[in-house]
């Protein structure tokens, strides 16, 4: 059966007609032209299709499109600023070699973003746990974890600087 759903996609109200059996990955890639989320396994094992729905990283290959009615979806296409400035995580993946072939990268970055939104100061173990559902066939996990850690270090530095400044003014 087909039906119309409305949801917020990368900040834009979106209304689209779907079939009940479509998954979110199919809707994003094949109907909306957002090809950042990748199809790896198609059965919830690789994380290449990860997007963020209402703040949580989900496998879009397992998520029925009908379930996003009324929700908010963020894909990798919506992460950079409108003027093209990369998100700190994207920049860090580029700088620290977290991008190898890049197939897994959108999912890795979105899983990391969901983690940082919930816990801005994760430990290395927290980062590894958050990325456990994202497989990289290039197997360069060290650079990927370092790419996320670099963002955490930076924000912790900013927090430390703010604390120092407020201490100076006392």
- Does 115 bind ligand FES (CB under 6 A)? Our answer is no
> What is the token pair recorded at 132?
């456990």
- Interactions with ligand FES, residue window 91-110 (CB under 6 A): 100-105
Locate tokens 């059966």: which residue? 1
> What is the token pair recorded at 79?
């992460």
Binding string, residues 136-155; x marks residues near ligand FES by CB under 6 A: xxx-----------------
Q: Smallest gap, in angstroms, from Cβ of residue 50 to ligand FES? A: 7
Binding string, residues 57-86; x marks residues near ligand FES by CB under 6 A: --x-x-------------------------
- Interactions with ligand FES, residue window 118-137 (CB under 6 A): 136-137
């Amino acid at each position: 059966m087909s039906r119309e759903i409305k949801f917020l996609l990368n900040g834009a109200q979106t209304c689209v007609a779907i079939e009940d059996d479509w998954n979110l990955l199919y809707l994003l890639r094949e109907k909306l032209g957002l090809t950042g989320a990748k199809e790896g396994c198609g059965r919830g094992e690789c994380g290449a299709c990860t997007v963020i729905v209402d703040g949580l990283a989900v496998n879009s290959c397992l998520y029925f499109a009908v379930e996003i009615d009324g929700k908010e979806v963020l894909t990798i296409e919506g992460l950079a600023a409108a003027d093209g400035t990369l998100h700190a995580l994207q920049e860090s993946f580029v700088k620290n070699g977290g991008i190898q072939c890049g197939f897994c990268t959108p999912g890795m970055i979105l899983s990391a973003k969901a983690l940082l939104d919930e816990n801005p100061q994760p430990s290395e173990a927290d980062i590894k746990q958050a990325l456990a559902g994202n497989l990289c066939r290039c197997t360069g996990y060290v650079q990927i974890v370092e790419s996320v850690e670099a963002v955490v270090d930076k924000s912790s530095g900013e927090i430390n600087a703010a604390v120092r400044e407020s201490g100076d003014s006392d």
